[in-house]
Structure 1
Amino acid sequence: MRKGGKIIIFSVLAAIVYSCSVKKDAFVNRSYHAVTTKYNVLFNGEQAYLKGLKEIQDKHEDNFWKRLQIEPITFDESVIDTKVLTPGTGFDATEEEENKNLTPFEKAEEKAVKAIQTHSMNINGYEKNSQIDDAYLLLGKARYYTQRFIPALEAFNYVIANYPKANLNYETKIWRAKTNIRLDNEKRAIETLRLLLDVLDETEKINKSTKEHAYTAMAMAYEKTDTIQKVVDYLKLATKTHYNKEQTARNMFVLGQIYSELNRKDSARMVFKKLAESRKAPHRFRIRADIELAKNTPNDSASIVVLARLKKLIKNTDNRKFLNALYYQAGVLEEGRNNPEKAAEYYKKSLEAKHNNNYQKTYAYERLGDMAFGKEDYLLAGSYYDSVMQVVSKEFDQEKRIRRIRRKNKGLTTLRKYEETVKKNDSILKLVAMTPDERTSFFEAYIEKIKKEDEEKRQQLLNAQNFGSSFGGGASINNSSNKGKWYFYNTQALGFGRAEFQKIWGTRPLEDNWRLSDKSINVIDDIATNEETKVNKRYELSTYLDVIPTDEKVIADLVLERNDALYQLGLIYKEQFKNSSLAIKNLERLNEVRTNNQLELPISYHLYQIYKEENNLAKADEYKNIILQKYPETRFAQIIKNPDTKLVEEKKEDEILNKYKEIYYTYKENKFEEAVTEVDNFLPTLKNSNLIPKFALLKALAIGKYQNKETYKQALEFVAVSYATTEEGKKAKEIIEQLNKK
């Protein structure tokens, strides 16, 4: 190499080495480190940061049934604390190896720290590298998104304190305010943002996107303080410009939701309509704005226009991801227009939508349940409310709406249980009452019916097989596994044939004489055996006739269980659902079929009350006379005789309570017969007391300790029937159910 070339190479290398120094304040040094920081280290850090930001935004799921978060981030409360990287930490080979599996935000933090450590030119207290403030800002933002707010605050404060004239100073102050909001220092955030906005208002040259960011942060701060009007004011300011289209659309949506919460429906509709028609807004916000517009539309002529708009959106194939919400809202509008059949159809379509979520389903099931409940179809309503309980997640399990549905469904669950008991026992008792010939005739007709149904199902399968074979492809025409028209290429026909073979022959090995399960017998015997195995028990009379009860005790228990269910149904319809017609239906029927006179008094009193409320005075007087003539000394008779006068108790409540405690201690000392005698002697002296059911239950429990099971059950049944609406009556019923299981 020539001497001149060597000199040039040496000069270049010397210049590079000279410019690498961070201690010399020269143009070459400043330019080299600024360019290297910006286009090497910080570029990679920014790319990692953007990747992490996209991941956290994709992870966040908006619940459009509630007010959206202004900043769309789902922070993990169980976050694992990660190592805090600070300027000055080493970057040796060991640390590089450990950092290979860092998250995007941790990689961004690593690059920011590396930029500060290797390229900072702090000379005489002044930073000469113009990119270091960017590195500190990146460092703070990366820590913010990994929920390490105190270290993030330190990074932002460092920029503000040491780089007061930096071009990112305003943005850094906004990030510091947002960090304070996350640390529940919203008052400090409001103060700093207010000062910043005052400065921004005086500075005309400042980027308006910074103002938009500041207004959004101010709305976040006031939302934490529940100052709703201030939130509204700053969201309105934030939505005047559209520098960040995603955030602007979110701000508009939240603004509309707040207007709706404040019952300012006109303002809400105006905001949502503007958002729905905005071409700059993301598609999901425009569709959701249309749905919210429908929610805030009254049931008048305007709802027809909105409903037509929803139907148009439903037809658009681009909106398939939103069909669950669109169908649901269309159902709400149809229900508001007194079109329940169409509304129910839309709710069911909402549930069947391909793209769905469980929280959306709870609303559709609730609406269907409410509609069934309004039609007094309580069993159907209960099944829909059950569905709500099945799909709701733990996150929303204690929501006020869900708790209300759970309470409502609890009564319906009990109702369904008693309705099913009445239906089942009535069916059995109806069969018991039939003559042998009537039973035979009944089940022969039933067997013919199920044979016909089975044959129709079999024919449908054969038709499907033939239909598939005609296309040469079975169940799936385009399936490559179903080539040709041959039987064994048709997977549907093959599956049907396999099932039919196993139904007749069972599982047989591939061998000679495979028809013979036992090779020592002849073919004729084998065929006869197989003919026997082919008989379906569902088609045999004995299958049904043999299970009809004949034991008198079993039949009596069925009658008793049915009558108890009728009584409980009457009380539930009367007290809980306020349905007089169904209460009367069950109690009147019980009055006709009962075999126990013990039930006459409570039945008569409840029917007297219902008919009196219904202004059916003739029927009310009928049952009132039964009570007054047959049971004149009872508490029910006293209430009827003196409806407006409070009954005078012969003993004070505290004295009665003391007497109860005295008898209870006798019971606890295993003096059961003495406890029963004391209750029998004391109860007749009580005319009206809330403690009477307690004495009755205590007596029943004492009887159970020294008498037989049947006597014990009779005592409990008296408590369960006479005081059915009290805790003692319910407790007695639970004990009876436990005894019946044993």
Structure 2
Amino acid sequence: MKNTKKIVIILILFLAIYSCSTKKDTVISRNFHAITTKYNVLFNGKEAFKKGVEEINSNYKDDWFKRLPIEPIEFEEDKIVLSTFNNGPGAGFGGAKEEEKKELTTFEKAEEKAVKAIQRHGMNIQGSERNRQIDDAYLLLGKSRYYAQRFIPAIEAFNYVIANYPQADLIAETKVWRAKANTRNDNEETAIEAMKLLLVVRDTLEADLPDVIKEQAHTALAMAYVKSDSLQKAKKHLKLATRTLKNKNQGARNLFVLGQMYSDENKKDSAFYIFNKLANFKKAPYKYKIHSNIELAKNFSKDSLSTTLLERMEKLIKNRDNRPYLDELYYQTAVLHQNNDSINLALVNYNNSLRAKNGTDKQKTFTYEKLGDLYFKDSEYLLASSFYDSVLQVSKDSVDRRIRRVKRKHRNLASLIKFENLVTLNDSIVRIASLTKEDQKLFFENYIENLKKADEAAAQLRLNQIAFGNSSGGLQSSRNGGWYFYNNQSLSFGKTEFQKIWGDRKLEDDWRWSEKATISGNIEKDSVQVKKTNLRYDLDTYLSLIPAKKETIDSLKTDRNQALYELGLIYKEQFKNVNLAKLRLERVASLQPKKELILPINWHLYQIYNNLGDTKKANKFKNVILTKYSKTKFAQVILNPNKKIEEEVAVSEIEKEYKKMYYLYKSNKFEEVVLKIDEYVATIPNANLIPKFELLKAYAIGKFKDKQAYKIALDFVAVSFGNTEEGKKAKAIIKQLER
């Protein structure tokens, strides 16, 4: 009896296995393989694919300052990937053994499952596929290859579905994916034609396409038109793709890209409408909603909306969920305040943007640039230069046009800052040198006292930061939050740091003073260390540095006066800031400058006051020129104001002057060359030979000044006359100097 039961069970199992063969077209076979494919192999493959797409969406870093790509994925242009699976029409089926592989990516796992479904559960009997799940397997195969950047094998898989399963439910979706693959493969015309057929002619057996498929098709068309630079047509299809918003992720992205396109065209009303629609789209991912609010603040066209938008931005800033976006929110709030001429509020918010945690480097470059522009507009050139320098330090994109523009601004300010610093330094030295010995001593005693206090505060702060944990932990162990002095490891580390900074000290009052440092260990080494420490607090050291010789002080005054004159020219000619130009030129005029500077100083001051309409002051400087320098070109220009300046001096005469200065240069009279060029160039502002004079001046500066001054002079030629031969030569020399 038992044997009979065993035989029956074996027969049943044998019949079941036989009936489930992929070569038998039976109801049991078809259903068995279909269910196994759908709920086992394909289920696992689709889950791996879904996970891969989620990873892309979460890991992709959008650059919100540029127009986003319609699909959030970046493919490497030159990447070549060999097929992981072999055989068949690009599908990897047909009985070949799978290669041994390293750990697979999510998309490789999905592709592996798709191939497994095709190989083990395909029921191709007499040219007809009897397993209704195999078309899904091919679609999954193509989609996985698409994300693996294997577009040609992906297209083969999609074509196989379209050719062999024309009545499949997913035929339309397959055509959309094939169009996307063609676009990625630089065949956007083929993709456009296919999508037009799908949407207009509707060459499917369905009476109408579902909304989800229409969204996908219009999105694919928009991608193809963007690739072919047909942005108007791309906008049209993005609008059509965002009518229903069935796919919340892609729909939100399509809206954002559409809004950016309108914004780029300065169609603020249309952009505002689109971003407002996205901001109110409840199912949209939060990153799109928060950035749509930021874009609303950029694209409002009615001043009446400014207050409303400011209130909205303030509300977003207060929301704790928006902490990752605080740098952008503060920045845009600052821009709104700046547009309303609330400069102080703008400065507060720009600085809050810089201090925000998780702030991106790119956002910082925009904030630093805005601060630089604000200070530049307010004639605070030193501060402006420091902010422009911060832009260049933070930025990692030296090719960007905006960064190159900032670099030019910073370079133009370099000579100004150099001369301003020189004036400040030489003024200080000359002022101190003019004091009595007692006043000099008192001055440096106060200086040393303040220096000690500052050093003490800085050292204490450093000790607190290093030994007592980070700023948020206070006097706690950085690991477990316990009291600092209960942690032996932290305590030992703190003692080491204290001794490194302060040395061995007795337990007594005023232990911080350097004179109280005790000597231990190697006496010679420690005495040198104490001497080094005391040097900054040594009164005699400072007193010995004060120049006493009249020649040295006169040289400092001469350099200062020359710097003041150069500053006057820079403010007048380069930055068009007549107020600062007046201050610098009038000051140098009052300081008994060298004879060579008197004429050009009076000429530039005459021009400034004449342009300002201040006849009284203009006449003062005009009379100096007409009485003391009546035979100069300056006097001729004043006496013949209606005659063009360039006509006063013939080209041949300009060339003669250039030759004279060139011979002076060859005679090693470099300082004289610089002064004469400054004097002469002012009389021929529109002459074609000015770049030659300026380059010769730069060469002369390079001969008797330091490398930095030489580079600044070359920078001026490169920036001011960049399209000339002289400008190009200056750029080439700068490159050599920077090596």
TM range, normalised to the smaller chain?
Answer: 0.7 to 0.9
Aligned match of 1:100: 102
Q: 2:411 aligned with 1:446, yes or no?
A: no
Q: 2:587 aligned with 1:600, yes or no?
A: no
Classify 1:348/1:201 alpha carbon distance in 2 versus 1 (closer, same or farther; 3 Å).
farther
TM-superposed CA distance for 1:354, in Å, is: 0.6
Q: 2:384 aligned with 1:381, yes or no?
A: yes
- Report the number of matched residues: 682
Aligned match of 2:56: 56
Classify 1:231/1:91 alpha carbon distance in 2 versus 1 (closer, same or farther; 3 Å).
closer
Aligned match of 2:665: 701
Q: 2:372 aligned with 1:409, yes or no?
A: no
**Is the Cα–Cα contact under 8 Å of residues 297 and 332 in structure 2 kept in the other structure?**
yes
Instruction: Find the residue that maps to 1:536 and give its secondary structure.
Output: helix
Classify 1:226/1:459 alpha carbon distance in 2 versus 1 (closer, same or farther; 3 Å).
closer
Taking the aligned partners of 1:90 and 1:162, their CA distance within structure 2 comes to 16
Taking the aligned partners of 2:110 and 2:86, their CA distance within structure 1 comes to 13
How do 1:570-585 and structure 2 match up within 5 A? 570-585=568-583
Taking the aligned partners of 1:421 and 1:572, their CA distance within structure 2 comes to 15
Taking the aligned partners of 1:576 and 1:251, their CA distance within structure 2 comes to 46
TM-superposed CA distance for 1:82, in Å, is: 3.0
**Is the Cα–Cα contact under 8 Å of residues 607 and 618 in structure 2 kept in the other structure?**
yes
TM-superposed CA distance for 1:631, in Å, is: 3.2
Taking the aligned partners of 1:101 and 1:486, their CA distance within structure 2 comes to 44
Q: 2:285 aligned with 1:282, yes or no?
A: yes
Instruction: Find the residue that maps to 1:25 and give its secondary structure.
Output: coil
Classify 1:518/1:119 alpha carbon distance in 2 versus 1 (closer, same or farther; 3 Å).
closer
Aligned letter for 2:385?
G
Aligned letter for 2:51?
K
Aligned match of 2:503: 502
Out of 221, 232, 235, which is 1:218 matched to? 221
Q: 2:345 aligned with 1:342, yes or no?
A: yes
How do 1:3-402 and structure 2 match up within 5 A? 3-19=3-19, 21-83=21-83, 85-88=85-88, 89=92, 95-97=98-100, 99-199=101-201, 203-204=206-207, 206-298=209-301, 300-394=303-397, 397-402=398-403
Aligned letter for 1:568?
E
Q: TM-score, normalised by structure 1?
A: 0.82
Aligned letter for 2:212?
S
**Is the Cα–Cα contact under 8 Å of residues 700 and 715 in structure 1 kept in the other structure?**
yes
Aligned letter for 1:271?
I
Taking the aligned partners of 1:463 and 1:229, their CA distance within structure 2 comes to 60
Taking the aligned partners of 2:93 and 2:166, their CA distance within structure 1 comes to 28
Aligned match of 2:436: 435
**Is the Cα–Cα contact under 8 Å of residues 56 and 74 in structure 1 kept in the other structure?**
no
Aligned match of 1:543: 541
Q: Residues 525-568 of structure 1, C-alpha deviation per residue, up to 9 Å, x if partnerless?
A: x99x8998698333322120111234555444433332222122
Classify 1:158/1:715 alpha carbon distance in 2 versus 1 (closer, same or farther; 3 Å).
same
Taking the aligned partners of 2:46 and 2:32, their CA distance within structure 1 comes to 19
**Is the Cα–Cα contact under 8 Å of residues 209 and 244 in structure 1 kept in the other structure?**
yes
Taking the aligned partners of 1:608 and 1:44, their CA distance within structure 2 comes to 85
**Is the Cα–Cα contact under 8 Å of residues 291 and 329 in structure 1 kept in the other structure?**
yes
Aligned letter for 2:588?
L
TM-superposed CA distance for 1:581, in Å, is: 0.9
Taking the aligned partners of 2:705 and 2:490, their CA distance within structure 1 comes to 57
Classify 1:571/1:240 alpha carbon distance in 2 versus 1 (closer, same or farther; 3 Å).
same
Taking the aligned partners of 2:336 and 2:77, their CA distance within structure 1 comes to 39
Taking the aligned partners of 1:154 and 1:198, their CA distance within structure 2 comes to 25
Out of 626, 630, 642, which is 2:628 matched to? 630
Aligned match of 1:508: none
Taking the aligned partners of 1:16 and 1:637, their CA distance within structure 2 comes to 116
Aligned letter for 1:348?
N
Aligned letter for 2:70?
I
Aligned letter for 2:413?
L
RMSD: 3.7
Mean Cα deviation higher: 285-294 or 719-728: 719-728
Taking the aligned partners of 1:542 and 1:253, their CA distance within structure 2 comes to 68
Taking the aligned partners of 2:610 and 2:47, their CA distance within structure 1 comes to 79
Q: Which runs of 5+ in 1 are unaligned?
A: 506-513, 657-685, 705-710
Instruction: Find the residue that maps to 2:568 and give its secondary structure.
Output: helix
Taking the aligned partners of 1:462 and 1:113, their CA distance within structure 2 comes to 63
How do 1:455-494 and structure 2 match up within 5 A? 474-475=475-476, 479-480=480-481, 482=483, 494=495
Q: 2:698 aligned with 1:729, yes or no?
A: no
TM-superposed CA distance for 1:404, in Å, is: 2.4
Taking the aligned partners of 1:191 and 1:463, their CA distance within structure 2 comes to 69
**Is the Cα–Cα contact under 8 Å of residues 114 and 138 in structure 2 kept in the other structure?**
yes
Q: Which runs of 5+ in 2 are unaligned?
A: 507-517, 683-689, 708-739
TM-superposed CA distance for 1:419, in Å, is: 0.8
Taking the aligned partners of 2:195 and 2:212, their CA distance within structure 1 comes to 15
Aligned letter for 1:699?
Y
Aligned letter for 1:436?
K
TM-superposed CA distance for 1:582, in Å, is: 0.5
Classify 1:237/1:180 alpha carbon distance in 2 versus 1 (closer, same or farther; 3 Å).
same
Taking the aligned partners of 1:652 and 1:391, their CA distance within structure 2 comes to 50
Taking the aligned partners of 2:311 and 2:553, their CA distance within structure 1 comes to 60
Mean Cα deviation higher: 322-331 or 135-144: 135-144
Q: Residues 364-395 of structure 1, C-alpha deviation per residue, up to 9 Å, x if partnerless?
A: 1121111111211111111111111111222x
**Is the Cα–Cα contact under 8 Å of residues 504 and 530 in structure 1 kept in the other structure?**
no
Classify 1:363/1:195 alpha carbon distance in 2 versus 1 (closer, same or farther; 3 Å).
same
Q: Between the two proteins, what is the percent identity of the paired residues?
A: 47
**Is the Cα–Cα contact under 8 Å of residues 607 and 623 in structure 1 kept in the other structure?**
yes
**Is the Cα–Cα contact under 8 Å of residues 324 and 358 in structure 2 kept in the other structure?**
yes
**Is the Cα–Cα contact under 8 Å of residues 561 and 593 in structure 2 kept in the other structure?**
no
Taking the aligned partners of 2:387 and 2:664, their CA distance within structure 1 comes to 39
